[in-house]
C-alpha cells in the first residue's frame, strides 16, 4: 500500500508509473515538434513576388530525409502558413504535393538523385498555383525550382559537415542565410509599428556582426534585404539599406559587441539620409531600434559563449581555403544574377493582335472575303495602325472618329469591330505594363546580385594575397597641411562640389574632390553621396579601387536617371613618402616641386553611368616641400582648353607656401574678383613638409579637419 501511495504522489505529467526521464524526453520531443511546426508555418508564409517561395518545400524534403516523425506536423503547419499568405488553393496544393510526391523518395531506395527533381519540380509547381501559365510565369517557376534544388544541395552538404565536425565559415553563412529565408515568412506580420521580420532580422544581423565582423554584417544584411525584397512588400525599402546597416554593425562589432546595435542604426540612418529614404521609415526605425535595444541587454556571458561557438564552428577552415570558397560564392552570386537576365524573345505580336481583333467579328461577316481577301493589305494595316496608335497613346479607348480609314470606313459591323479592338487594346496595354514592371524588377535584382558578387570576389582576392610582414613601427617622413576653397556658381548659394580629408591607419591620409552633375542641390547630393560612401569604405579598410567600384555600383542602383559624379582621390603614405592617385573623370591635378609643375591627367568616365568603371591608379613619390593642387572643372572651364596651361604657369611663378592662401588665390586668379563663374568651383591644396618641421593646421580628432574657407585672398589681375 505504501508503494502505491508513493507512486501516486510522484510529480509526473505522464501516466502512473512513467519514469521522470521518460516524461522529460517526451516533453523535449513535443517541444521540438512544436518548434518545427512553427518554423514550417513561417516558411509556408514566405512569398516571392506574391507567390509561394521555395523555402517551405525545400525544408519538407530535408525533414523527410532526416526526421520523418516530424514531417506531417511540419507539412500541416506549412500548408496552413501558405493558406494564410497565398490563399487556400496554395495551401491545399502544398498539402497534396507533400503527401503524394515527397513519400515517393522512400520508394526509390538509395537513389539519392531522386530528391533533386522532386525538390525542383515541387517548388516550381507551387509557384505556378493561382497564376496563368505563360512564358514569364514558367521562367519564374524555373528560377524557384532551381533555387530550391541549389538550396537543398547546399543545406544538405553543410548540415552533414556540421554533424561530423567539419564545419567552417561557409556553414555559418548557411545558417545566417537560412535565418533570412525564415524571416521572409514573417514579413506580413505586424504588431503595431513593429515588424517582427525586421525585429528578429536586426538581431540576426547584430549576431552575425558580433561573430564575424564586417563580412558577417554585410552578408546577413544582404540576405535579409533580398528575401524581404523578393516578397514584393519590402518594409525596408531595398537591399542596400540593410547591407549598409550590416556593414556599419560589423564595423562596430569588431571594436566592441555593444557597438553593433548602434552601428546598425547609424548605418541605416546614413543610407536613408544620403542615398534613399525608405517608404516605411517609422516601421523600419522602430523595429531596428527595438532589436538594437534588446541586443544591448544581452548578458556578456551569452555573447562570449556565442563567439566561442562560432569560433569553434569555423576553426576547421584552413586559411588558404577561405579565399577559394569566397570565389566560389562570388561565382554562385554572379550566376544567380545572370539567371535574372531574361530576354522576352517573343515573336512579333502585331499579327496576333490583328487576328484577335478581327476574328470574332469578321469571321461571321458576309463581307469577309471582300475585306480580307480582296483588300487584305488595307484592312490589315488599318487594324494594326489603330491598335498600335491606341497603345502608344496610353491604351486609350478609340472611337469611330479616330479610325476614319479601312476597314472601318466600309464595315457593316463597325461598332462591334471597334469594341473588339478596344478590348484587345485594353488587354495588351495591361500586359505591357505588367511585363515592364517585371523587367525592371529583374534588372534591379540582376544588378544587385552582380554588385555583391563583385565585392565578394574582390574580398577573396585581397585575403588571398600574402599578408605584409610585421615591421617595427616607423616614424612618418612627411607631415601634411590641407586647405580647401570653394565657390558656388554665380547666383547660387549651394556648391555642387564636395571634398574629403581623412586620416587612415598606418600614418596615411586620403584627400579628394568630387564634382556632381550640374549645379545646385542635385549636384551637391551626387558629390556628397560619393564622398560619404568613399569615406566609410576607406575607413573600413577597402582599397581605393575597390571603394570606387562600390560607389559606382551604388550610384547605378540608386536611380534609373542619369546622375553621376567625378572622383579625384589621393592616398598619401607618410611613412614611405609615396602616393596613389585615382582619377575618375576628374580635372587634371598639379604637382609643384621647386619651380617645376607636373600636370597629371586621367581618362576614366564618371561613376554612376557604366556598370564597370576602369580604375587605373597613378603612383607617385613625394619630397618635402611638394605642393599638390586638385581642382574641379569649374576652376578651368572659364578659359576652356587654355585653363590648364594658365593654372600651370601661375603655379610655376606664384611664391605662396601657405595652403589656405594658395587655395583662395587660385580661385581668385582663375575666376576673377567679381564673377563666380558658370559652374561650381573647388580647389584643394596639399602641402607636404618634413615630419616635425612645422605643425599641421588640423588636429587628429574626430572633428572635420577642413572647412569651406571664405573668400579672403586678393587675386592677381587676369591677363
Q: How confident is the model at residue 567 (pLDDT cuts 50, 70, 90)?
A: confident
Q: Which contacts of 264-271 are long-range, i.e. CB under 8 A and separated by 24 or more positions?
A: 264/202, 264/205, 264/206, 264/209, 264/217, 264/288, 264/291, 264/292, 265/289, 265/292, 268/241, 268/242, 268/244, 270/244, 270/532, 270/536, 271/240, 271/241, 271/244, 271/245
Q: What pLDDT score was predicted for residue 707?
A: 34
The C-alpha atoms of residue 329 and residue 324 are separated, in whole angstroms, by: 9
Window from 14-18, 45-49, 211-215, 539-543 with minimum mean pLDDT = 14-18
DSSP 462-495: HHHSPPPPP------SEEEEEEEEEEPPTT-SS-
Q: What pLDDT score was predicted for residue 595?
A: 84
Look at residue 450 and tell me whether its pLDDT is greater than 60.
yes
Residue of higher predicted confidence among 248 and 518: 248
Q: Is 100 exposed, middle or buried (0-12, 13-18, 19+ CB in 10 A)?
A: exposed
Average pLDDT of the residues in 642-656: 88
Mark 505-529 as b/e (b = at least 16 C-beta within 10 Å).
eebbbbbbbbbbbbbbeebbbbbbb
Q: What pLDDT score was predicted for residue 426?
A: 79
Window from 100-109, 127-136, 206-215, 504-513 with minimum mean pLDDT = 100-109
Average pLDDT of the residues in 205-210: 78
User: What percent of the chain stands above pLDDT 70?
Assistant: 63
Q: How confident is the model at residue 321 (pLDDT cuts 50, 70, 90)?
A: low
The tally of CA atoms less than 13 A away on the side-chain side of residue 87 is 9
Look at residue 110 and tell me whether its pLDDT is greater than 60.
no
Q: How confident is the model at residue 534 (pLDDT cuts 50, 70, 90)?
A: confident
The C-alpha atoms of residue 211 and residue 485 are separated, in whole angstroms, by: 44
Average pLDDT of the residues in 635-651: 81
Q: What pLDDT score was predicted for residue 191?
A: 74
Look at residue 11 and tell me whether its pLDDT is greater than 50.
no
Window from 110-119, 164-173, 265-274 with minimum mean pLDDT = 164-173
In contact, 48 and 127? CB cutoff 8 Å? yes
Q: Is the pTM of this model over 0.85?
A: no
Q: What pLDDT score was predicted for residue 592?
A: 92
Identify the DSSP state of 191.
B
Tell me the pLDDT tens digit for each residue of 461-516: 766 664 444 444 567 888 899 999 988 877 667 777 888 999 888 889 999 998 87
Tell me the pLDDT tens digit for each residue of 61-87: 888 877 777 888 888 888 887 787 777
In contact, 482 and 511? CB cutoff 8 Å? yes
Residue of higher predicted confidence among 486 and 393: 486
E strand or H helix at 503: strand 497-504
In contact, 117 and 20? CB cutoff 8 Å? no
Average pLDDT of the residues in 652-673: 85
Q: How confident is the model at residue 685 (pLDDT cuts 50, 70, 90)?
A: very high
Tell me the pLDDT tens digit for each residue of 275-304: 666 667 777 788 888 888 888 888 888 877
Look at residue 575 and tell me whether its pLDDT is greater than 80.
yes
Identify the DSSP state of 581.
E
Look at residue 630 and tell me whether its pLDDT is greater than 90.
yes
Look at residue 611 and tell me whether its pLDDT is greater than 50.
yes
Look at residue 121 and tell me whether its pLDDT is greater than 80.
yes
Tell me the pLDDT tens digit for each residue of 347-389: 456 567 777 777 777 777 777 777 776 667 777 777 777 777 7
Q: What pLDDT score was predicted for residue 695?
A: 45
| Distance in Å from the first CA to the final CA of the chain | 121
Residue of higher predicted confidence among 130 and 696: 130
Q: What pLDDT score was predicted for residue 698?
A: 40
Residue of higher predicted confidence among 569 and 525: 569
Tell me the pLDDT tens digit for each residue of 138-171: 887 888 888 888 878 877 777 766 665 556 666 6
The C-alpha atoms of residue 16 and residue 4 are separated, in whole angstroms, by: 10
Which residues lie across from 573 on neighbouring strands? Answer: 508, 578
Window from 122-131, 240-249, 398-407 with minimum mean pLDDT = 398-407
- State the average pLDDT for the chain: 72
Amino acid at each position: 500500500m505504501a508503494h502505491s501511495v508513493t507512486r501516486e504522489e510522484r510529480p509526473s505529467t505522464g501516466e502512473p508509473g512513467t519514469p521522470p526521464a521518460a516524461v522529460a524526453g517526451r516533453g523535449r520531443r513535443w517541444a521540438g515538434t512544436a518548434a518545427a511546426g512553427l518554423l514550417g508555418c513561417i516558411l509556408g508564409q514566405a512569398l516571392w513576388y506574391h507567390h509561394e517561395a521555395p523555402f517551405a518545400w525545400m525544408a519538407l524534403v530535408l525533414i523527410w530525409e532526416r526526421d520523418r516523425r516530424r514531417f506531417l506536423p511540419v507539412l500541416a503547419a506549412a500548408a496552413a502558413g501558405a493558406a494564410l499568405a497565398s490563399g487556400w488553393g496554395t495551401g491545399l496544393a502544398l498539402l497534396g504535393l507533400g503527401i503524394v510526391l515527397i513519400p515517393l523518395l522512400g520508394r526509390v531506395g538509395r537513389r539519392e538523385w531522386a530528391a533533386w527533381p522532386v525538390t525542383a519540380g515541387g517548388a516550381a509547381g507551387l509557384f505556378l498555383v493561382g497564376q496563368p501559365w505563360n512564358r514569364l510565369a514558367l521562367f519564374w517557376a524555373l528560377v524557384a525550382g532551381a533555387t530550391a534544388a541549389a538550396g537543398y544541395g547546399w543545406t544538405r552538404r553543410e548540415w552533414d559537415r556540421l554533424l561530423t565536425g567539419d564545419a567552417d565559415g561557409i556553414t555559418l553563412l548557411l545558417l545566417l542565410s537560412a535565418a533570412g529565408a525564415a524571416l521572409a515568412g514573417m514579413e506580413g506580420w505586424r504588431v503595431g509599428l513593429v515588424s517582427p521580420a525586421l525585429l528578429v532580422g536586426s538581431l540576426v544581423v547584430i549576431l552575425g556582426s558580433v561573430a564575424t565582423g564586417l563580412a558577417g554584417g554585410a552578408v546577413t544584411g544582404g540576405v535579409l534585404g533580398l528575401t524581404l525584397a523578393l516578397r514584393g512588400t519590402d518594409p525596408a525599402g531595398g537591399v542596400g539599406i540593410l547591407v549598409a546597416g550590416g556593414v556599419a554593425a560589423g564595423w562596430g562589432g569588431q571594436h566592441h559587441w555593444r557597438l553593433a546595435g548602434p552601428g546598425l542604426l547609424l548605418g541605416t540612418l546614413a543610407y536613408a539620409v544620403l542615398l534613399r529614404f525608405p517608404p516605411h521609415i517609422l516601421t523600419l526605425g522602430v523595429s531596428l531600434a527595438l532589436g538594437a535595444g534588446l541586443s544591448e541587454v544581452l548578458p556578456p556571458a551569452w555573447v562570449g559563449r556565442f563567439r566561442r561557438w562560432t569560433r569553434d564552428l569555423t576553426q576547421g577552415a584552413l586559411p588558404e581555403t577561405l579565399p577559394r570558397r569566397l570565389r566560389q560564392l562570388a561565382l554562385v552570386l554572379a550566376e544567380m544574377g545572370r539567371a535574372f537576365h531574361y530576354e522576352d524573345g517573343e515573336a512579333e505580336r502585331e499579327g496576333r493582335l490583328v487576328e484577335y481583333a478581327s476574328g470574332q467579328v469578321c469571321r461571321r461577316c458576309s463581307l469577309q472575303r471582300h475585306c480580307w481577301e480582296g483588300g487584305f493589305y488595307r484592312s490589315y494595316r488599318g487594324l494594326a495602325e489603330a491598335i498600335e496608335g491606341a497603345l502608344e497613346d496610353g491604351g486609350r479607348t478609340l472611337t469611330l472618329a479616330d479610325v476614319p480609314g479601312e476597314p472601318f470606313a466600309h464595315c457593316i459591323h463597325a461598332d462591334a469591330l471597334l469594341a473588339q479592338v478596344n478590348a484587345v487594346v485594353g488587354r495588351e496595354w495591361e500586359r505591357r505594363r505588367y511585363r515592364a514592371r517585371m523587367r525592371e524588377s529583374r534588372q534591379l535584382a540582376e544588378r544587385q546580385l552582380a554588385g555583391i558578387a563583385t565585392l565578394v570576389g574582390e574580398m577573396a582576392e585581397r585575403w588571398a594575397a600574402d599578408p605584409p610582414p610585421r615591421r617595427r613601427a616607423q616614424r612618418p617622413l612627411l607631415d601634411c597641411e590641407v586647405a580647401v576653397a570653394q565657390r558656388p556658381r554665380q547666383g547660387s548659394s549651394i556648391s555642387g562640389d564636395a571634398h574629403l580629408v581623412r586620416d587612415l591607419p598606418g600614418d596615411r591620409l586620403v584627400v579628394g574632390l568630387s564634382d556632381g552633375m550640374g549645379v545646385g542641390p542635385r549636384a551637391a547630393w551626387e558629390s556628397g553621396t560619393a564622398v560619404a560612401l568613399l569615406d566609410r569604405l576607406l575607413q573600413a579598410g577597402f582599397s581605393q579601387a575597390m571603394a570606387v567600384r562600390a560607389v559606382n555600383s551604388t550610384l547605378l542602383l540608386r536611380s534609373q536617371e542619369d546622375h553621376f559624379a567625378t572622383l579625384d582621390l589621393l592616398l598619401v603614405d607618410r611613412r614611405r613618402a609615396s602616393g596613389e592617385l585615382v582619377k575618375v573623370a576628374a580635372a587634371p591635378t598639379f604637382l609643384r616641386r621647386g619651380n617645376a609643375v607636373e600636370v597629371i591627367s586621367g581618362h576614366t568616365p564618371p561613376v554612376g553611368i557604366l556598370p564597370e568603371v576602369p580604375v587605373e591608379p597613378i603612383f607617385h613619390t613625394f619630397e618635402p616641400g611638394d605642393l599638390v593642387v586638385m581642382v574641379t572643372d569649374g576652376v578651368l572651364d572659364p578659359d576652356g582648353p587654355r585653363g590648364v596651361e594658365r593654372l600651370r604657369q601661375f603655379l610655376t611663378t606664384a611664391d605662396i607656401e601657405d595652403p589656405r592662401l594658395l587655395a583662395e588665390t587660385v580661385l581668385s586668379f582663375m575666376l576673377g574678383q567679381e564673377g563666380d563663374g558658370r559652374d561650381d568651383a573647388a580647389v584643394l591644396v596639399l602641402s607636404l613638409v618634413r615630419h616635425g618641421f612645422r605643425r599641421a593646421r588640423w588636429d587628429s580628432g574626430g572633428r572635420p579637419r577642413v572647412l569651406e574657407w571664405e573668400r579672403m585672398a586678393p587675386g592677381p589681375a587676369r591677363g
